[in-house]
Amino acid sequence: MATSTRSNAGTKGVARAVREQQIVDAACRAFGESGFAATSVADIAEAAGISKPLIYNYFGSKEGLYAVCLHHAAGTLTAEIERTAASGTVGLARAIVTLDGMFRALEPQPWIWRLVNDSTAAREGAIDAELAEYERRIFTFGHDGVAELMQLAGNDDARDLSAMHAVWEHTFRALVTWWLDHPGETPEQMTQRCIRLFSTVFGEIDISALTAP
């Protein structure tokens, strides 16, 4: 009598959920370090220590696996920004706290930053949906923080807000990317560098939120 395979069955005694996470972890690193276009399913299978057919069985395609990786990476980054946004820090100190949180979140898996900023991945289907949602959330967090900063300065001009938001987005991405391009720099060192840079331009910044219990 034929028997059916349990939906939660994995391979070699490993539960399916565990095996899937192993594949996603390996794929996130491969995609993040080499880029979507230059990474093959065979590369990921080798890194995960499993077969190519298993990846297709679990995720359907390279694009399907990449979309799952995007969901993981984007969720990690937006959760950290959401945490710092809810910290109650305001003004330029909030910018520093946001950057500090991002450096710390990325330290154990820096490749997820490049994963969500990979221009070689085709923006279609599930991939486009994941990226669109990530970009929407990042835009909202950035916009709210900049609007708060502008209000503190007594500036309610809508175009000034739009321009300052663009400045912040480019500054944020540039600083995180610069840090990743200099792997010898710890999150603590990079945060102190950001404080020095911001203070050079804007004057002394209250950073008590970074040391608050």
Domains belonging to the chain, first-starting first, are 68-210 (1.10.357)
pLDDT per residue as tens digits for the range 132-189: 999 999 999 999 999 999 999 999 999 999 999 999 999 999 999 999 999 999 999 9
Residue 193 corresponds to which tokens in the numbers above? Answer: 């560098």
Q: What pTM was estimated for this model as a whole?
A: 0.87
Phi, psi of 127 (to 5 degrees): -65, -45
Could you give the CA distance from residue 68 to residue 17 in angstroms, rounded to a whole number? Answer: 13
12-20 contacts, C-beta under 8 A, 24 or more apart: 16/58, 19/50, 19/54, 19/58, 20/58
Burial 63-90 (b: 16+ CB within 10 A, else e): bbbbbbbbbbbbebbbebbeebbeeebe
pLDDT per residue as tens digits for the range 33-64: 999 999 999 999 999 999 999 999 999 999 99
Q: Which amino acid is at 165?
A: H
